Amino acid sequence: MIDPNIVRDLFQRRFGIHPRLIVRAPGRVNLIGEHTDYNDGFVFPAAIDRATLVAARPRTDRLVHVVAADYDAEDEFSLDTVEFSTTTPWSNYIRGVVKALQVAGHTLGGANLLITSDIPRGAGLSSSAALEVAVGYSFQILNKLNILGEALALLAQGAENSFVGVQCGIMDQFISALGQANHALLLDCRDLNYRPVPIPPDVRLIVCDSHIERTLAGSAYNQRRSECEQAVRLLRRHLPKITALRDVSPEQFAALQAELPEPVRARARHVVSENDRVVRSAAALEAGDVATFGRLMNESHASLRDDYEVSIPAMDALVAAAQQVPGCYGSRLTGAGFGGCTISLVDPTAVDLFRSSVAEAYRHATGHDATIYVCRASNGVGRAGSDT
């Protein structure tokens, strides 16, 4: 975890004065419920104890000056002309949030910002969503705006969709804004109703970063989304009231799956079964039944591998290595796929064995080194440290 005092010192060295505030927004891991969000379904994420920190202080003019400490890079733009940048693409996440705030009718003043993060970039742990939420919350405090957590998440998602140009769902920004310590959130992506579910204290969430770059995730994401939409069109002949695969029960799908061509049938089978797994897994965790939760995680990975086809051999090797460790209840790919991270539910007494065994097995199978993080569920966005 990043020490806010270090961030405060970095800000002072760059701007010659202490920041007015420091904001922390966490990354996330999705425990189960993959590729269900854009099908109006259920997801089950937890905010993690790795975060993006934004140190901020208001300016007297209309400029926003941003220092990205991790890149050793800077950007500056006017609040009067917030445009997409081709020279500093990382700054478009900040620019997009600022523009979204103004489009929503909020009056902003200029600011100096310094940004740093310990969320691994490109690993599927939502570093971009954490940045968007942290920047939005910083401007909210600096300008004394009244924005609820759900509204902040939607605003940040809109910035990524319309300004950055990434058609992400709501899950990442939502959990970064509204996460709760020691809980996961069962989120309905259709109406944004959510319920916190306690994570039993006698388990650990372990994230394994494969260090496999997700080069195919973007194009595959669009293809899978199109295939799900095709499934809805075909199933609507028999189920005229459905608007998304979320509306199809496992029983209805079993009766009608022959009406779908491959691979559309397989894609729909994953989404329908995954939605069902999410609901059942949340109930299991609420009952303290970690064995059932782990089994559902394993089933989820098999579905992602076989029906949705978004895993790759290296990720399968990482999951298999985890599942073979005594004390690992379950493991699965988390995120869009084709690389990134896995999430495993592990008994605390097995953590050391898990780390050594998985690292060795993965290296032997792939030639790659995995980075392993033992995480805890954390709170969503908020102030960090003692502001000045």
Amino acid letter, residue 316: D
Task: Give the residue-averaged pLDDT of 111-126.
Answer: 88
pLDDT band at 125 (very low <50, low <70, confident <90, very high): confident
Exposed/middle/buried for 150, CB within 10 Å: 0-12, 13-18, 19+?
middle
Q: What is the pLDDT of residue 121?
A: 78
Q: What is the pLDDT of residue 218?
A: 63
Distance CA 232, CA 240 (A): 10
Amino acid letter, residue 95: R
Instruction: Look up tokens 């990720």; give the residue.
Output: 315
Q: What is the pLDDT of residue 335?
A: 86
Indicate if the pLDDT at residue 388 is higher than 70: no
Chain segment 334-359, per-residue pLDDT in tens = 988 888 899 999 999 999 999 999 99
Distance CA 34, CA 334 (A): 7
Distance CA 221, CA 103 (A): 29
Q: HSE on the CB side for 61, CA within 13 Å?
A: 7
Q: What is the pLDDT of residue 53?
A: 98
Active site residue 172: yes
Assigned token pair, 290: 């970690």
pLDDT band at 1 (very low <50, low <70, confident <90, very high): confident
Q: What is the pLDDT of residue 255?
A: 98
Given the DSSP bridges, would you call strands 204-209 and 183-188 parallel, antiparallel or unpaired?
A: unpaired
Q: What is the pLDDT of residue 387?
A: 46
pLDDT band at 324 (very low <50, low <70, confident <90, very high): very high
Q: What is the pLDDT of residue 215?
A: 64
pTM of the model: 0.92
Task: Give the residue-averaged pLDDT of 108-128.
Answer: 90
- Averaged pLDDT of the chain: 94
Q: What is the pLDDT of residue 216?
A: 60
Amino acid letter, residue 43: V
Task: Give the residue-averaged pLDDT of 321-326.
Answer: 98
Indicate if the pLDDT at residue 120 is higher than 60: yes
Q: What percent of the chain has pLDDT over 90?
A: 89
Q: What is the pLDDT of residue 137?
A: 98
Task: Give the residue-averaged pLDDT of 22-32.
Answer: 97
Q: What is the DSSP string of 155-172?
A: HHHHIIIIII-----SHH
Chain segment 356-386, per-residue pLDDT in tens = 999 999 999 999 999 999 999 999 999 996 4
Longest Cα separation, the chain:
68
Chain segment 306-319, per-residue pLDDT in tens = 999 999 999 999 99
Distance CA 131, CA 137 (A): 10
Task: Give the residue-averaged pLDDT of 11-38.
Answer: 96
Q: CB neighbours (10 Å) of residue 91?
A: 21
Q: Could you tell me how many residues make up the chain?
A: 388
Distance CA 381, CA 140 (A): 12
Distance CA 331, CA 349 (A): 17
Q: Among 39-43, 151-155, 290-294, 384-388, which is the least confidently predicted range? A: 384-388
Instruction: Look up tokens 């996330």; give the residue.
Output: 28
List the Cα angle 256/257/260 in 5-degree steps: 110
pLDDT band at 219 (very low <50, low <70, confident <90, very high): confident
pLDDT band at 217 (very low <50, low <70, confident <90, very high): low
Instruction: Look up tokens 């260090």; give the residue.
Output: 211
Distance CA 179, CA 46 (A): 6
Choice among 37, 40, 172, 307 that is catalytic: 172
